[in-house]
A and B are shown apart, each in its own frame.
Chain A
Amino acid sequence: MNTFAKLEGWLTPAGVPVSVSVALAPSTAYSSDLTGFQLRIELARLRLLKGFDELLCLDGLTGVEHLPHQIETVRRVLRYFRGRVLLADEVGLGKTIEACLLLREYLLRGLAKRVLILTPPSLVSQWREELSVKFGLEFAVPLGADVRSKPEYWSLNDRVLTSIALAKGKNFEAITSVSWDLVIVDEAHHCKNRSTMNWKLVNALKRRQLFLLTATPVQNNLMELYNLLTLLEPGHLKTEADFKKTYIQRGNPLDPLNRERLRSLLGEVMIRNTRSLVSIDLPPRYAQTFVVKPGSDEAHLYRLVDDYLRRSRPPVMTMEEEAANAEGMSLDHPHEGVNLEVGLPPRVLGNRRRISSLLLAAGSHPKTLASMLERSMSDQPEIKPIIDLAQKIGRSVKEEKLLELLRQGAGGANKTLIFANFRMTLRQLQTLLTESGIAFSLFSGDMTAAEKDMAVLEFKERVPVMLCSESGGEGRNLQFANTLINFDLPWNPMRIEQRVGRIHRIGQTRETLIFNLCVAGSMEERILRLLNDKIRMFELVVGEVGSILGALTGGEEFESLAMNLWLRSRDDADLDAAFDQLGNDIVTARKEYLKTKELDKALFGEDYE
């Protein structure tokens, strides 16, 4: 460890102060070892290789598929933008990956130490997971209570990930009083309006570098773009009045004046990759949903579970309560068999989570439901008959349908990937396929890397089917498969999108077939109906669902919204009505999204560079 001494500095010709510190010579011990001496010098020279030509962030990443345009973006930001940039790639081109690569690069190079990431509340957990799992970066995620009683939280933690909602509230003063090396704002279009607290917060933050991320820098008019860029570089587009006079054509927001000049100025602070620019055009994908009618035992089982859960349901939490209490918690990994409640604050512990897990399990497989009930509620006498009934059910209707699909050819020449939420469901499917003589491989999140490699190799070369857990397959090249069966469904559409993205991705040359299985009357059926009929989710490109639902739910996670509808409803009819209303809202949100998309396209074109 070096001890440093401060020396007198100097001023550059423009008056920039240069402070000088010198590490003291470590000791007076000597040797006559020339090799050691030369190696010592070589070591220092090797350190110089960490220049910007060599990206350091790419090595050692697990499960991150970085595309050429993302790498190019990282290089451009490092070389030319010097840490202040609006990343405005079209939806689905991986802005988050770009930002994380940049973040990792900045950390590895020592260009940033204190980092603040601001996201909408609904994306906090997703960011935390991606940062941790894919980039090996751990971030402190404050709960409301953490920071309310401890304003020094922001200076004590060097890497903080939080929602903009939490940051701008009572924490405004504390968070803006400390310095940050790098601030990343996801979904930065929420800062498009200067009179909002969002804009004011980002403007007030003391930071050296700032990445703003949004696919839609302009949602209604060009002033939104002006406001965003003013956060990055005040004055880059001159004053508001100047900007309006020079670039905005009254009555026609789609056709700015001085377009080329505007584009050239934008190029200095904004990067926008478009699909046409990076040549990502995938073959079409087709989705088909099979709503299977449950047999009498299964129908009875769902009725019993539904009734029981309705009797024991908790009050609906407000959005603020959810944000304040559950922010950043990993809530949605029932498939990995984790104890959902470990680490959750007391208010979140309890019925709400348990109910959503049980509803998900009921939608997955009777045996999975039985197993979960036995684990968590077997002490309650009224549960016993439900468990007995679930155990009694042999082959479920969804299993029958799955076999039918596989026999019809889904698992023939086409390689078929079957997804399931729960480990127990995967075990049931293993038994089903084995008994039916269908060869398969198994890919699960709890397997070692070598086992996973083996499973993929087997799937690629020998067997027609691979059973896959939720997180399974992320970062693997599975484009050789073109058929996907969702045996059950997560309520989070992003997770459905991730599943589809396993095979419908760059490198896929054939049409992709997606089959969804759900039981009539289940929550999954309702959710699928919304996503299919109202958003036409399976026709959208990756990321667009998030853009539509993000605007609709105002930051609340979609599955939480769906859960609230269930909790608020008295019966199925009530629930159907609530879902219908949600469907109408989704249609409106989709229209808004398409309008925004059209505006962005008109302003930036498809060849923005």
Chain B
Amino acid sequence: MSVVIRERLSAFAQAALEWRGGVVDWPPDKEDGEAVLPPDVCLLLKCPEAVTLSHQIRDGVMAVNLASDFLERMEVLFEAEPFIGVFKIPGLYLKQSSMEEPVARAFTWRNAKVKVLSAQPTQLEYQTWHFFVSLHSEDRWEDTCSVTINPATRVEIQMPDPATIASLTPNHEPQANHLDTFDLAVRLMVAKVKSRAANFIERIDSKLKRDHKRLHDYYNALLEETDRKVAASKSETTDVKRRELAEAVQLELRRKSMEMDERYAVKAEFKPLALLRAQIPALEVKLEVFRKQSRRIHTVYWNPLMKQLEPLGCASCGAGVNSVFFSDKEVDPLCPSCAERRGLGARR
């Protein structure tokens, strides 16, 4: 292992064990360290109360190493802990002056008139889902990804990771649990992975194409060769032989092709790692939307971390949208693509 990885692993081991109540002495310049662990942790990690930590894999130590089962063992520690973290960011500055101008700057209303009704401070919860994603094929791609959702609008918000905000504090009185953003988070995550792993997918595609071509060329040439040989033999059973050989070659080609397809098929796996629920002060801005004879009130939020208004969510595909169409009757917000599909986009 490289020095950087060793250091990162030992820092993690030390922090994780101390977090669970252990006492760890592992000076950076020492190969081994010592830890004294509480009984419940020993039980989970299946180790004695006093344990030696080492980068080397050997008997009688907890081997802090990528090749050992260290990371798997540590996962057990986290399995026993809540998967959701609830926090708040207090004291963010909220501007309460007229919102007409900011709304006009943030949105383009493509087929409706919109009036700002009010702007009130509120406490809003944002949910940041962290996932471990892997694509297995003939090769492998892995990454961690996160997505933040405003549950009130069910729109993905491109805001800084709340976990990195210095003023993040525990929230001992969280709002009701909102796990109903999970499906949405998965859907958004799939879209993200399609784009992030595009190069990987492209590589798999081109390799499969190349290998299929090679396989087909090979078996077709084989078929032609054997065909020529059989024809040259001028035996009475030429046709039967030809047919039999062609069938055998085709069968083998099919078998190899299937085997190859199986080898290249991609298995995508999404594992949620953690959910961070952060309660943040925000401005709730009420908008009155007039579309033909209909009118409806929609809410948008001014996000103090982004220092701008969040987009509206397309009622059809869920995408955040700032260039907004509205449907005729329900006055639902729609993104340009969905509006065009419904025949709304062409009017402007």
Interface set, chain B 63-112, CB cutoff 8 A to A: 63, 65-68, 71, 74-75, 78-79, 81-87
- Chain B residues near A23 (CB, 8 Å)? 269-272
Question: Is B194 located at the chain interface by the 8 A CB criterion?
Answer: yes
Query: Quick one: given A12-B204, A235-B214, A241-B225, are A30 and B86 in contact (CB under 8 Å)?
Result: yes
Interface extent on A, as a size class?
Answer: 35 or more
Q: What residues of B have a CB within 8 angstroms of the CB of A14 in the complex?
A: 204-206, 208-209
C-alpha gap A46/B140 in the complex (Å): 16
Report whether B266 and A17 are in contact in the complex, using a CB–CB cutoff of 8 Å: yes
Contacts of B15 in A (CB 8 A): 35, 39
Partner of B9, one of A40, A46, A206: A46
| Best-surrounded residue of B142, B271, B272 (most CB of chain A within 10 A) | B271
CA distance A110 to B75 in the complex (A): 17
Task: Please measure, in the bound complex, the distance between the C-alpha atom of A241 and the C-alpha atom of B229, giving whole angstroms.
Answer: 11
In the assembled complex, B201 has its CB within 8 A of some CB on chain A: yes
Q: Mark A1-33, 1 if CB is under 8 A from B, else 0.
A: 010100101101110111111111111111111
A162 to B177, CA, bound (A): 56
* A18→B259 contact, CB < 8 A: no
Docked-complex contact B142 and A48, CB < 8 angstroms:
yes
How far does the alpha carbon of A37 sit from the alpha carbon of B219 in the complex, in Å?
Answer: 55
Q: Bound complex: CA of A515 vs CA of B261, how far in Å? A: 58
Say yes or no for B273: interface residue by CB 8 A criterion. yes
Q: Which chain A residues border B225 with CB–CB below 8 Å?
A: 239-241
Q: Does A145 contact B (CB under 8 A)?
A: no
In the complex, the chain B residue whose C-beta lies closest to that of A237 is: B218
Q: Which residues of B contact A50 (CB under 8 A)?
A: 66
Q: Determine the distance from Cα of A148 to Cα of B58 in the docked complex, in whole angstroms.
A: 40
Partner of B68, one of A7, A33, A40, A59: A59
Determine which of B86, B222, B262, B273 lies in contact with A31 in the assembled complex, contact meaning CB atoms within 8 Å: B86
For the complex, what is the distance from the CA of A54 to the CA of B66, rounded to whole Å? 9
Q: Collect the chain B residues with CB atoms within 8 Å of residue A240's CB.
A: 222, 225
Q: How many residues of B contact A (CB 8 A)?
A: 86
A16 near B204 with CB under 8 A, answer yes
Contact B83 A9 (CB under 8 A): no
B170 touches A40 (CB 8 A): no
CB nearest to B268 among chain A residues: A20
Q: Which residues of the partner chain B approach A345 to less than 8 Å between Cβ atoms? A: none
Cβ contacts under 8 Å, B186 to chain A? 7, 22
- From B58, B190, B219, B275, A25 is in contact (CB under 8 Å) with B275
Q: Determine the chain A residues whose CB is within 8 A of the CB of B205 once the complex forms.
A: 12-14, 16
Provide the bound-state CA to CA distance between A245 and B182, in Å.
61
Q: Which of B138, B144, B270 sits near A45, CB closer than 8 Å?
A: B144
Q: How far is the CA of A37 from the CA of B274 in the complex (A)?
A: 7
Q: Quick check: A16 and B163 within 8 Å, CB to CB?
A: no
- Say yes or no: is B267 at the interface (Cβ < 8 Å to chain A): yes
- Chain A min CB distance to B89 (Å): 12
Contact A30 B272, beta carbon cutoff 8 Å: no
Nearest A residue (CB) for B15: A39
Q: In the bound complex, how far is the Cα of B81 from the Cα of A39, in angstroms?
A: 11
In the bound assembly, the distance between CA atoms of A48 and B268 in angstroms comes to 16
State in angstroms the CA–CA spacing of A49 and B138 once bound together. Answer: 19
Contact check: which of B1, B219, B264, B267 meets A21 at CB < 8 Å?
B267
| Interface contact A30-B174, CB-CB below 8 Å | yes
Q: Are B268 and A18 in contact (CB under 8 A)?
A: yes
A-B contact count (CB 8 A): 209
In the complex, chain B residues whose CB is within 8 Å of the CB of A111: 140
Q: Give the CA-CA distance A234 to B66 in the complex, in Å.
A: 36
Measured CA separation A235–B253 after assembly (Å) = 11
A60 within 8 A of B: yes
Measured between C-beta atoms, what is the minimum distance from B254 to chain A in Å?
Answer: 13
Q: What's the Cα separation between A30 and B262 when bound, in Å? A: 41
B-chain residues with CB within 8 Å of residue A36 when the two chains form the complex: 19, 78, 81, 85
Q: Do B209 and A19 have beta carbons less than 8 Å apart?
A: no
Contact A37 B163, beta carbon cutoff 8 Å:
yes
Which residues of chain A are near B171, meaning CB under 8 Å?
A: 32
How long is the Cα–Cα vector from A14 to B67 in the complex, in angstroms? 35
Which residues of B have CB within 8 Å of A33? 81-82, 85, 170
Decide if A12 touches B201 in the complex (CB within 8 Å).
Answer: yes
Q: Name the B residues within 8 Å of A48 (CB-CB).
A: 142-144
- Scan A432-447; emit 1 where CB is below 8 A from any B CB, else 0: 0000000000000000
| C-alpha gap A35/B19 in the complex (Å) | 7
How far is it, in angstroms, between the C-alpha of A208 and the C-alpha of B261 when the chains are bound? 10
Question: Contact at A41–B217, with CB atoms within 8 Å?
Answer: no
Q: Which residues of A contact B266 (CB under 8 A)?
A: 12, 16-19
Residues of B within 8 A of A9 (CB): 268
Supposing A30-B85, A31-B82 touch, asked if A10 and B194 sit within 8 A by C-beta, the answer is yes
Q: How far is the CB of A482 from chain B (nearest CB, A)?
A: 30
- Please give me the residue from chain B that is nearest to A108 by CB atom: B67
**Residue B196, interface by CB 8 Å:** no
Given the known A-B contacts A2-B271, A30-B86, A39-B78, are A233 and B214 also in contact in the complex, defined by CB atoms under 8 Å? yes
Asked if A44 CB lies within 8 Å of chain B CBs, one says yes
- Docked Cα-Cα span, A18 to B264, in Å, equals 10
Complex alpha-carbon distance, A86 and B186, angstroms: 42
**Which A residues, 31 to 72, have Cβ-Cβ distances below 8 Å to chain B?**
31-50, 54, 56-60
Inter-subunit contact A39/B12 (CB<8 Å): yes
Given the known A-B contacts A32-B87, A235-B217, are A40 and B78 also in contact in the complex, defined by CB atoms under 8 Å? yes
A residues near B172, Cβ cutoff 8 Å: 32
In angstroms, Cα B9 to Cα A47, docked, is: 10
Once A12-B204, A239-B221, A240-B225 are accepted as A-B contacts, the answer to whether A206 and B259 lie under 8 Å apart by CB is yes
12 residue pairs of the A-B complex, CB under 8 angstroms, read A20-B269, A23-B270, A32-B87, A48-B142, A48-B143, A54-B2, A56-B66, A59-B68, A60-B68, A108-B67, A236-B214, A239-B225
Which residues in A have some Cβ–Cβ distance to B below 8 Å? Answer: 2, 4, 7, 9-10, 12-14, 16-50, 54, 56-60, 82-83, 108-109, 111, 206, 208, 233-236, 238-242
* 13 extra A-B contacts, CB within 8 A, seeds A14-B209, A26-B83, A234-B219: A16-B265, A17-B266, A20-B270, A34-B87, A39-B19, A40-B273, A58-B67, A59-B65, A60-B58, A60-B67, A109-B140, A238-B217, A241-B221
